[in-house]
Amino acid sequence: MKKTLKKHLKGVFLAILGLITGILCIILGIKMFKFFLPFIIGWILAMIASPLVEFLEKKLKISRKHTSMVIIIMVLGAIIGGSYLIGAKVMTETGKFLEQAPNLYSGFSEEFQEVEHNLRSIIKELPDNVQVSIDNTQEELGKEIGTIISTVSELTVDYAGNIAKNLPNALISTIFTLLSSYFFIADRNRILEFGRKHTPKMIQDKWRMLAESFKKVFSGYFKAQFKIMGVIWLILFIGMLILRVKFAILISFLVSFLDMLPFFGTGTALIPWAIFKALSGDTSFAVGLVILYLVTQLVRRIIEPKMVGDSIGMNPLVTLIFMYTGYKISSVLGMILAVPIGAIVINFYKAGVFDGMLKNIRNLFRDFVRWARTTEE
């Protein structure tokens, strides 16, 4: 019995040692990922472009190296053309916004004056000692705002300087990314064949399983998030049309994008906006914004478990449990990360990655129970 118990303890120890080794490998892998990022991006671009390269190679009878060069030129052209179109669109919209800026500024100034007037009316009704306390707080707040503005200005200058310093590094990284993507495309078959020859089949099978699992989980998760963003955008757009908000398409898009980001949400924009409108006397508009916020939050909470679960192949109830657990562990960020991590763990379990460790734990527990009973007898 003692030998069996010792054997299982050794198995559990090896499993824990393997887990620690895995964690250390992940930490080292993150550092290596940052170091070789241009080549990793180049490999991803090569994997995306390879089907098109193979198609052109078969149909046009062009050598793979020449086809790879054509694809790289097309990618560069697409980047430059896309940047030009986006820049032109941004400049057009900026021009329209600047044309409306005087009207928007005057409207904002009037509303701000109304807010100030309403606040002063409320403060006058308060006791004298409270008014003195509010005045002191206002002075301190003014000083703090001045300090914040000064700090932000300094940080902005430093940030601009850092961007200027890092431009050469960014340019060199871009060149290495494009060159590596070209060589990865041109020599893709030889690289894959080399990997197959020098990698054991068991590792190949595990790697294939891991790659498919990561691809399914992360692509499905982000697809679900973009679908949810689309639903939230539609609700916001309809609500802002009802409230007669100018630039409703743009504002609803920006707010829905905030909703997709960690630590933000629709409340980041809608709640301060509603408070400002309430203080300026436009209570109906403020109530409309609050209702819009509540509707978006309710819809997100209803559709998110189902959409995310369907996209990554996980039961909606299990998805909801993972989201709640992640939220309890690390708030919003935990809720976001818990679902893909949970899905990967489930896929690993289905693939038998944890079978050895679980078997050792079960055997250890069974032998411990037997040993305890023998001791009692």
pLDDT in tens, 314-356: 677 777 787 788 878 777 667 777 777 777 777 677 666 666 6
Provide, rounded to the nearest whole percent, the portion of the chain with pLDDT above 90.
2
Instruction: Give the separation between CA 339 and CA 302, rounded to whole angstroms.
Output: 16
The pTM assigned to this predicted structure is: 0.53
Q: How far apart are CA 142 and CA 149, in angstroms?
A: 11
Window from 18-27, 141-150, 193-202, 294-303 with minimum mean pLDDT: 141-150
Q: Output b/e per residue, 244-267; b: 16+ Cβ within 10 A.
A: ebeebeebbbebbebbbeeeebbb
Task: State how far the Cα of 219 lies from the Cα of 217, in Å rounded to an integer.
Answer: 6
Q: For residue 191, give every residue at least 6 positions away whose Cβ sits within 8 Å of its Cβ, in sequence order, or none.
A: 184
pLDDT band (50, 70, 90) for residue 112: low
Q: Please tell me which residue, 286 or 6, carries the higher pLDDT value.
A: 286
Percent of the chain, pLDDT > 70? Answer: 58
State mean pLDDT over 259-274.
78
CA–CA gap between residue 377 and residue 375 (Å, rounded): 5
The domain locations on the chain are: 36-198, 199-377
pLDDT band at 90 (very low <50, low <70, confident <90, very high): low
Q: Is the pLDDT of residue 236 over 80?
A: yes
Contact 339, 323 (CB under 8 A): yes
State the greatest distance between any 2 C-alpha atoms of the chain, in Å, as a whole number: 92
Query: Who's near 49: CB < 8 A, 6+ residues apart?
Result: 68, 71, 75, 181, 185
Residue 233 has pLDDT above 70, yes or no: yes
CA gap 260, 224 in Å, rounded = 11
pLDDT mean across residues, the chain: 73
Per-residue model confidence as pLDDT tens digits over 56-75: 667 666 666 666 667 667 76
Confidence of residue 234 (pLDDT cuts 50, 70, 90): very high
In angstroms, the CA 46 to CA 309 distance is: 30
Give CA–CA dist 221/343, Å, rounded. Answer: 10
Q: How confident is the model at residue 79 (pLDDT cuts 50, 70, 90)?
A: low
Predicted confidence (pLDDT) at residue 100 exceeds the cutoff of 70: no
Q: Would you place residue 36 in the very low, low, confident or very high pLDDT band (cuts 50, 70, 90)?
A: confident
Per-residue confidence (pLDDT) for residue 65, from 0 to 100: 64
255 versus 263: the higher-pLDDT residue is 255
What's the pLDDT band for 136 if we cut at 50, 70, 90?
Answer: confident
pLDDT tens string 141-190: 666 666 766 665 566 656 656 666 666 777 787 778 878 777 777 777 77
* Predicted local confidence at residue 286, as pLDDT: 87
Cβ neighbours, 10 Å, residue 233: 20
Local structure of residue 198 (DSSP, 8 states): T
